[in-house]
Amino acid sequence: MNLNRLTFFTALLLSSTVFAKEVPVQKVALVGDRIVEFIPAGFDKSKTPSLILKAEPISKGTVPRNWRLRPSFSLTDDKAEAVLNLPAGVSLYGGGEVTGPLLRNGKTIKLWNTDTGAYGVEEGKRLYQSHPWVMGVRQDGTAFGIIFDSSWKAELQTESNQIRYKSEGALFRTYIIDRESPQAVLKGLAELTGTIEMPPLWSLGYHQCRFSYGSEQKVREIATTFRDKKIPCDVIWMDIDYMDGYRVFTFHPKNFPNPTALNDELHQKGFRAVYMIDPGVKQDKDYNIYKSGSANNVWVRNNDGTDYIGKVWPGDCTFPDFTNPQARNWWSGLYKDFLATGIDGVWNDMNEPAINDNHLPDGQRTGTMPTTIMHKGGGDLPAGPHLLYHNAYGRLMVEASRKGIMDANPNKRPFLLTRANLLGGQRYAATWTGDNMASWDHLKLSVPMSITLGLSGQPFNGPDIGGFLENTSGELWANWLGFGALMPFARGHACAGTNDKEPWAYGEAIEKTSRIALERRYRLLPYLYTQFYNAAKTGLPVMAPVFFANPADMRLRKEEQAFLLGEDLLVIPAFAKDPELPSGIWEELSIVEGDMSDKYQAKLKIKGGSIIPAGKIIQNTTEKSFDPLTLIVCPDKMGTATGQLYLDAGEGWGFKKGDYSLLSFTAKKTGNSLNIKLASKKGSRNPETEIQKINAEVLINGKVYKGSGSLKSGIQVALVN
């Protein structure tokens, strides 16, 4: 090769190479207790607004001199990247809604919200939500977390020696939390991104859904069967077939002619009703919602000024531009008349947004809006391309929906479920893990998926129990409900064309198993409600990994079959094979007759040193489960135990004005007896009007000792056979 040709090829190679340009850090500030903000030089809020943080952080002093976790920033072809180098031996978690294992070392996540029905269980699938967040746990149990405060399309890599966030957009800020435990780090995450609001008690009951219960008659039949068979349930869901031609905020004139009467009847039977609302609005000049949206100029527009049109269930649809305050206010206003029919909760689906007909030039289906479409913005949000706002579309939608629900029913706590969301979106809606499959792989995957969402700030989540797509066998259903009934959000769901998936659909034996599983959930509602109170106050997950019992125990770091419910209850699903369990005292407990002999039920174990409040078996939450109250006590090696119970009206906002009771119980062994008493009480609510009697069950070395008493007198349990 002659010199001229060598020079030519060298120049060609250099011209085609994309170099990363290092970007210095412009500002480092302490914005909370061991929370540090890093801002790269050139960061511009008008290019990367925060849709993750609950409020703009305020500088609170100087960064500790020994602070070691410092990200580096770079630009490659105007696309921003951040890298955090790690010490050896760090276990990585988080990333939100992801497939693959609980332990995230060596994994990659595509952050681009996508309608991924029948998603596989392998690593790397794009799913419905984006959580640019990673938590690291060191070998000694101390922990840190990093937020990449960006909604741009991105990729999140968690290698053993570094965390890398590769954005397709402009520079962004990062926040690093470094504290003494993973629990403390998650509290720091909540300080930045917010917590869930205290949910209504009924939303913690069991939910039954199908795509779709296609008529009022079918809904009544389902409700009646639950009550006739005495299988606990609180909520029945209406999927899209209740609508008139899939037009949102309408009712099918033949199949759902009188939703007010239907909802009233459900209420009389102790049920609540949740109805689906999608973002796509049918393009129909005779449709009031479409006409109103057009008149108010709320639609996403193509760059030539015409309304963007995409195909969803109704056919050609327009879409509200939720980046614009006027569009959000318009959307909020649609809920008043809709909820006036007696609807209790709302389900926002297809809000990635999922669109059926968009293709790239090479014919590949994108499944959403073109990335170059410009959103209007307004208020605190700048105008920007869909590449920036896509991952926030569902998050902005549920913000608007929640406001509408609150405006329509200001004295009620809203319940809103969403498929698409962004880190921080737990402030507005609960979530589920999307269109999973009726398979053993998805059954097993549902545990680490839900744990990971909890480790990413979203405690109110769960899978479609039994699997949404394809037929579900009785064996699969029973195994799944056996532990799914103990997850934070418990809903059975089924796709059109699949077999019936109600608790009685598999014969008498599985029906009995289903009843036991759900009776267990309802007995544990006092404990579960208390865990949701803790989550709303602190940001801690309701469902947690077992390594939370001892973050320094390296044996537990990969365990993804068993899980903790709160701090004191260990759940071991029937499918679990040789799970790694925390050491110490963990007594197995029975709370419903037959639960320990039923092969499908998860094992329940209570932690030594704890007191768990349990109620009686009820059919729905309109029946108060707190009287008589049962205190399940497992003393530690010192013969002591503690526990809490949170009580309020279960609905409304009185608890914010003091109308609640937070009861703290203690137990202490003295000789051959255990004395249990109410140690303290917070709040102005009088618990004695709701709890007339207290039973106690004390678990020691596989034996159960019982006693009874009251809040005032306490309980003395004789520890003799």
How far CA 279 is from CA of 202, 354, 686, in Å, comes to 26, 9, 44
* Residue 349 a catalytic site member: yes
Closest CA to 47 of 149, 146, 135, 133: 149
How far CA 307 is from CA of 45, 375, 378, 379, in Å, comes to 27, 12, 18, 22
Q: Which of 97, 352, 587, 648 is catalytic?
A: 352
Q: At 94, which helix (H) or strand (E)? A: strand 91-94
283, amino acid identity: Q
Q: Are 709 and 716 within 8 A, CB to CB?
A: yes
* Residue 435 a catalytic site member: yes
Closest CA to 310 of 290, 333, 337, 283: 283
* Residue 115 a catalytic site member: no
Determine if the peptide bond prior to 446 is cis (ω within 30°): no
User: What is the dihedral sign for C-alpha 122, 128, 131, 137?
Assistant: negative
**Length reported for the chain:** 721
β-partners of residue 37 are 29, 175
β-partners of residue 210 are none
What would the two tokens of residue 627 be? 């009287």
Q: Which of 349, 399, 511, 648 is catalytic?
A: 349
What would the two tokens of residue 80 be? 């921003």
Closest CA to 449 of 563, 570, 577, 348: 563
Q: Are 384 and 372 within 8 A, CB to CB?
A: no
**What does the alpha-carbon distance between residue 586 and residue 714 come to, in Å, rounded to a whole number?**
25
Closest CA to 147 of 135, 129, 159: 135
- DSSP class per residue in 579-601: -----S-EEE---STTTTT-TTS
Count how many Cα atoms sit within 13 Å of the Cα of residue 288 in the half-sphere of its side chain: 7
Question: Residue 46 CB: number of other CB atoms within 10 A?
Answer: 11
| DSSP code, position 556 | G
Count how many Cα atoms sit within 13 Å of the Cα of residue 622 in the half-sphere of its side chain: 10
Q: Are 283 and 248 within 8 A, CB to CB?
A: no
Q: Which residues of 26-41 are buried (b: 16+ CB within 10 A; e: fewer)?
A: eeebbbbebbbbbbbe
Question: Residue 59 CB: number of other CB atoms within 10 A?
Answer: 10
Question: Residue 286 CB: number of other CB atoms within 10 A?
Answer: 6
Q: At 611, which helix (H) or strand (E)? A: strand 610-614
Q: Which residue has the tokens 């690093």?
A: 176
The SS3 assignment for 149 reads: strand
Q: What angle do CA 111, 457, 460 make, to 5 degrees?
A: 105
Mind telling me the catalytic residues?
A: 349, 352, 435
